[in-house]
Chains A and B, each alone.
Chain A
């Protein structure tokens, strides 16, 4: 492999990209619309609190408190077990729960301390915890007519992984998805370029010069990775993705770009024309998009999603951009991504190499 020959082919490929109106169009649209969509999405989360309450004999009081509070929705539940189940279920959409003891009023009247339990889900902000403590006090005040000897648990029971203060807005959830879409776009562009080179047999003209097959394949790898990385990095910069963990993100985007380049080489090998390239690319990309979509629904991804090649890419972006994760936190995901990238690149190299050899 000779760097001068590889760089000559790279220069030619970049010139072809620049001359390709379709490629320019989809690149331009990506650069405009992806950031536009990102910045149009809400950057805050819905602040209405749906709180589950378990109580007996306090219906009137709870209803009065609920009616008088903006942004508070009270859902009555029969017992603590039901409340916990509801908190862990996505369907109920509860962020916290209060469990009032059955004998709250009697105990208070006797001067005995009463204990109100506060149950919170993993992603509840600290201020919500404070608000719920105030709510419990208000209920007790209304029920007793005087400040109660209530005793809220000093250590609230946290259900699930603690993400207090780390709610992720829809905008931030979309960030890895956009980065992934950009890479997909570039995969398709590279696949189109490769397919055209194979179908028009310009590659055979190149390979009867001193350029070797390895030079040709290396050039395609460099072009695909460079173009995909550049555009993904530009998009990430435009959507404020580099605010935290920029070095990690650069490495992640580079690995992701190399990953989709390998896939693009495979798709281009099988493509006969624009439509077959489009079809092949989409066929490959659909399963690879699943991890990106799973980022829209926070929680632990299913095991089968975690073995998909793009999981490491998406998960690293999510953890770094939304949770400020460092190298140690994402090392497993990066290793996974690096492994898949190597496999995809070798696969693309071998398959495209064989395709070219049989022309």
Chain B
């Protein structure tokens, strides 16, 4: 299956500052690609080039097999973009917001009810958005992103600052859309979210992609294949034992470790995405 998004050697500078420096990335239909990096890494600028908001200084973008440079409007007809800013029309209701965007996409007879129901806002459809909480506005942003049943979704920090319930609802929506076959490019600096949602993650720092792979492969290749067991001995002292998972005698080693005292905790020593990012970038995701 050909990729839904293909970017090659994208570059963009704000004056002297190089924001994006040769980024190449593919996203397949039905795939969620997590774009992971700290603020200022170049994620949002890349998204702007992939969605036709900006012309790259160099490189090419193809979305759904169409070149962005010459087919921007045709591409924008088939993509959905969820911005980090809650850029909704506050003086209009949720239903009016969705109807307006549906008309821009040329969708006749659009009924916002089912979409608002999906994001849990059907009962507040007629209320002005200015009366909505932050979580409700973000859910409406997601609903707006889905108005045209897009083949590609660009989601910029879609759960940033949300309460756990709203964040979970949005993650479910993202998974549903990927299951439907939409390609999803998700930018975030929340490594837990990236780990939870993404089929692959791309680490972005200083305008470059440092690594791209599945979260599992990254964690396995950069972590220790071992278990750390914390125990309380018969004398009451707390100690630790490390069990090597590649040890041919692992069963015996494990049994010995577990029988040498009261087991307090057992942890695998696989790396987190944050550890791996630090390994590549030399800085954390919050930096």
Pairing of A with B? yes
A205 touches B73 (CB 8 A): no
Q: If A19-B91, A19-B92 touch, does A204 touch B83 (CB 8 Å cutoff)?
A: yes
Q: How far is the CA of A171 from the CA of B53 in the complex (A)?
A: 53
Chain B residue nearest to A21 (CB atoms) is B91
Q: Chain A: interface residue count, which band?
A: 20 to 34
B106 touches A210 (CB 8 A): yes
A210 touches B83 (CB 8 A): no
Chain A residues positioned under 8 Å from B51 (CB to CB): 208
CB of B208 within 8 Å of the partner chain:
no
CB of B90 within 8 Å of the partner chain:
yes
Q: If A19-B91, A205-B83, A209-B105 touch, does A12 touch B100 (CB 8 Å cutoff)?
A: yes
The B70-94 residues at the A interface (CB cut-off 8 A) are 73, 76-77, 79, 81, 83, 85, 87-92
Binding site for B on A (CB under 8 A): 4-5, 8-9, 11-12, 15-16, 19-20, 200-202, 204-212
B106 contact from A4, A9, A208, Cβ within 8 A:
A4
A209 contact from B88, B90, B101, Cβ within 8 A:
B101
List 21 A–B pairs whose Cβ atoms lie within 8 Å, in order of A's numbering. A4-B106, A5-B104, A8-B104, A9-B104, A11-B100, A12-B100, A200-B88, A201-B83, A202-B87, A202-B88, A202-B89, A205-B81, A205-B83, A208-B51, A208-B53, A208-B79, A209-B76, A209-B104, A209-B148, A210-B73, A210-B77
Chain A residues positioned under 8 Å from B87 (CB to CB): 200-202, 204-205
Chain A residues positioned under 8 Å from B81 (CB to CB): 205, 208
Top 5 A-B pairs ranked by shortest CB distance? A19-B91, A209-B104, A8-B103, A201-B87, A208-B81
Chain A residues positioned under 8 Å from B148 (CB to CB): 209
Q: If A8-B100, A207-B53, A210-B106 touch, does A15 touch B92 (CB 8 Å cutoff)?
A: yes
Q: How far is the CA of A94 from the CA of B103 in the complex (A)?
A: 67
B261 nearest CB across to chain A (Å): 59
A217 nearest CB across to chain B (Å): 15
CB of B96 within 8 Å of the partner chain:
yes
CB of B52 within 8 Å of the partner chain:
yes
For B, the interface residue count at a CB cutoff of 8 angstroms equals 26
Q: How far is the CA of A309 from the CA of B163 in the complex (A)?
A: 54
A201 contact from B76, B85, B100, B103, Cβ within 8 A:
B85
CB of B230 within 8 Å of the partner chain:
no
A211 touches B104 (CB 8 A): yes
B83 touches A15 (CB 8 A): no
Q: How far is the CA of A204 from the CA of B101 in the complex (A)?
A: 12
CB of B144 within 8 Å of the partner chain:
yes
Known: A200-B90, A208-B79, A209-B148. 11 other contacts (CB 8 A): A9-B104, A15-B96, A201-B87, A202-B89, A204-B53, A205-B83, A205-B101, A207-B53, A209-B76, A210-B76, A210-B105
A215 nearest CB across to chain B (Å): 9
Chain A residues positioned under 8 Å from B92 (CB to CB): 12, 15-16, 19
A120 nearest CB across to chain B (Å): 60
Chain A residues positioned under 8 Å from B106 (CB to CB): 4, 210
Q: How far is the CA of A205 from the CA of B52 in the complex (A)?
A: 12
A12 touches B105 (CB 8 A): no
B221 nearest CB across to chain A (Å): 36
Q: How far is the CA of A206 from the CA of B105 in the complex (A)?
A: 10
B21 nearest CB across to chain A (Å): 21
B126 nearest CB across to chain A (Å): 13
B52 nearest CB across to chain A (Å): 7
A20 touches B104 (CB 8 A): no
Chain B residues positioned under 8 Å from A201 (CB to CB): 83, 85, 87
Chain B residue nearest to A9 (CB atoms) is B104
Chain A residues positioned under 8 Å from B91 (CB to CB): 16, 19-20
Q: How far is the CA of A212 from the CA of B75 in the complex (A)?
A: 13
Q: How far is the CA of A16 from the CA of B92 in the complex (A)?
A: 7
Chain B residues positioned under 8 Å from A15 (CB to CB): 92, 96
B210 nearest CB across to chain A (Å): 27
Q: How far is the CA of A211 from the CA of B148 in the complex (A)?
A: 14
Q: How far is the CA of A20 from the CA of B91 in the complex (A)?
A: 7
B16 nearest CB across to chain A (Å): 17
Chain B residues positioned under 8 Å from A202 (CB to CB): 87-89
Q: How far is the CA of A15 from the CA of B81 in the complex (A)?
A: 24
Chain A residue nearest to B77 (CB atoms) is A210
Chain A residues positioned under 8 Å from B101 (CB to CB): 205, 209
Chain B residue nearest to A215 (CB atoms) is B104
